[in-house]
Chain A
Amino acid sequence: EVQLVESGGGLVQPGGSLRLSCVASGFTFSNYAMSWVRQAAGRGLEWVSAISGSGGSTYYADSVKGRFNISRDNSKNTLYLQMNSLRAEDTAVYYCAKGTPLYGPFDPWGQGTLVTVSS
C-alpha cells in the first residue's frame, strides 16, 4: 500500500524556520516526482513546491520562492520542505503528494501537518 506520512509541523514565530518531512512507503520513491500543497483553514488548495525523482529539478510557487527549499533523500524515502522567514500567511495544513509519475495528478496525498505562524 502506498503511504505518505508527514511530520514536523507546529507553532513558530514570524520570521522563524521549520522543516517538514514526508516519509514514503509502498513504491519506488526515486521514480516519482513529489510535491507539497498547502491549505489554509477554510480555504482552497495551493501548490507550494515540487521536486523531480532524482532531486535534480526543483520548482516553487512565487509566494514561497526564496524562502522555502524542497529536497529529498531517496536512500531514506523521505521528502523535505525547509521553510524560512515564515509569515502569518504561511499558516496552513501542508500535504505531501506523489506525482503519477511527474507533477500531476497527485495520488495519494499524506494526511497533512499543521504549521501555525504566530507570535
Chain B
Amino acid sequence: EVVLTQSPGTLSLSPGERATLSCRASQSVSSRSLAWYQQKPGQAPRLLIYGASSRATGIPDRFSGSGSGTDFTLTISRLEPEDFAVYYCQQYGSSPPVSFGQGTKLEIK
C-alpha cells in the first residue's frame, strides 16, 4: 500500500499570497492516479485536481497541480478567503486500496 505524506502540516498565509502544498508518496505513483481534495469544516471533501494536474469541473484556475513519481504539488496562485481549508492528496488506481495523505491545514495568517 502506498503511504502519502503531506507537508507542511499547517500553512499560515494571507489572502493574495501563493500557497504551495506538498504530497510525497512512499513509492512511485502514476500521475494518472493522484488527486487533491479540499475540505471545509462541517463539509464533505470536494475534488479539486485529478490525474495530478487536471482541474475538476468548476474549480477556479488559481488551483493547479503538478508532479510525478513520488513528489506532487498543489499550488494556489493567489489565495482567496474561501480557500482557507484542509487539503488532502489521494492515490488511487484500477483497484483498491486507496490512500489519503494526512492533510495540510491552510490557515489565515
Contacts and interface: CB of A to CB of B under 8 A. Distances in A.
B50 interface: yes
Interface residues of B, number: 24
B44 A47 contact: no
Contact of B45 (A100, A102, A109): A109
Instruction: Name the prevailing secondary structure of the B interface residues.
Output: loop
B92 A103 contact: yes
A115 B32 CA distance: 33
A50 interface: yes
Contacts of B91: 104
A52 to B, nearest CB: 9
B97 interface: yes
Interface of B: 33, 35, 37, 44-47, 50, 56, 88, 90-103
17 contacts: A35-B96, A44-B101, A44-B103, A45-B37, A47-B96, A47-B97, A61-B97, A100-B50, A102-B92, A102-B95, A103-B92, A103-B95, A103-B96, A103-B98, A105-B47, A106-B35, A108-B46
